A and B are shown apart, each in its own frame.
Chain A
Amino acid sequence: AQTVTQSQPEMSVQEAETVTLSCTYDTSESNYYLFWYKQPPSRQMILVIRQEAYKQQNATENRFSVNFQKAAKSFSLKISDSQLGDTAMYFCALGGNAGNMLTFGGGTRLMVKP
């Protein structure tokens, strides 16, 4: 079975500052994919960033980057230069080889303060 744990239910950050959201996971599969999804108040799930486990290089998308520690089964999301529009729930998700089924963590509610 796959599990994803987000240990920070809520976080806040000042606008323009940097924040890191934590995620740990467990899987027995040798190849898998990790994702961060954002769910703003509009409730739509939006992909922020993805990481393929066989790639050692950490993924980066503009202000968003990850710290992928495969041995530690850790996958944290760093948001640089936080903006008010980053206020949302953030979900870490794990996908295994069986298909596109995702296992989600419990989410971290991020508030960006002006």
Chain B
Amino acid sequence: DSGVTQTPKHLITATGQRVTLRCSPRSGDLSVYWYQQSLDQGLQFLIQYYNGEERAKGNILERFSAQQFPDLHSELNLSSLELGDSALYFCASSVGAGWSTGELFFGEGSRLTVL
């Protein structure tokens, strides 16, 4: 158990809908990262938050948004869903924002299926 909690584990929804994925980082970790794992794109970095503020942005679509709350949990919002958004969404956390602080700890992921 990595200590990173993601909910829901599975989610099935229809095209055009909006969903929210939730992540609770390990106790003491200030950074949260979101990754998307799909069959055709592999694992792609979406976005990082550090202590409530956006730190780095990757290939995140405009239909997607994220935030990190004062209690450090994070939510990834996916809207106007398309079939291609079906993927495994990982959350990871780390103590700080830089490499000197160590590895990333991944949650078990949220499997999103868009029908």
Residues of A within 8 A of B (CB): 33, 35, 37, 42-47, 50, 91, 95, 97-107
Contacts and interface: CB of A to CB of B under 8 A. Distances in A.
20 contacts: A33-B99, A35-B103, A42-B108, A43-B108, A44-B109, A45-B106, A46-B2, A47-B103, A98-B56, A99-B56, A99-B98, A100-B31, A100-B94, A100-B97, A101-B33, A101-B58, A102-B43, A102-B45, A104-B42, A104-B44
Interface string B27-48: 0000101010000001111001
Nearest to A52: B99
A101 B56 contact: yes
A28 to B, nearest CB: 16
A100 B104 contact: yes
A43 B45 contact: no
Q: Which of A33, A44, A91 has the most CB of B within 10 A?
A: A44
Interface residues of B, number: 25
Contact of A101 (B45, B88, B108): B45
Describe B's contact surface by its main secondary structure: strand
Interface of B: 2, 31, 33, 35, 42-45, 48, 55-56, 58, 88, 90, 92, 94, 97-99, 103-104, 106-109
Contacts of B94: 100
A47 B104 CA distance: 8
Contact of A99 (B42, B90, B97): B97
Contacts of B33: 100-101
A69 to B, nearest CB: 21
A15 to B, nearest CB: 27
Nearest to B50: A99
Given A43-B88, A45-B90, A107-B42, A100 B99 contact: yes
- The 4 A-B residue pairs with the shortest CB-CB distance, nearest first, are A45-B106, A104-B43, A44-B108, A101-B45
Nearest to B92: A45
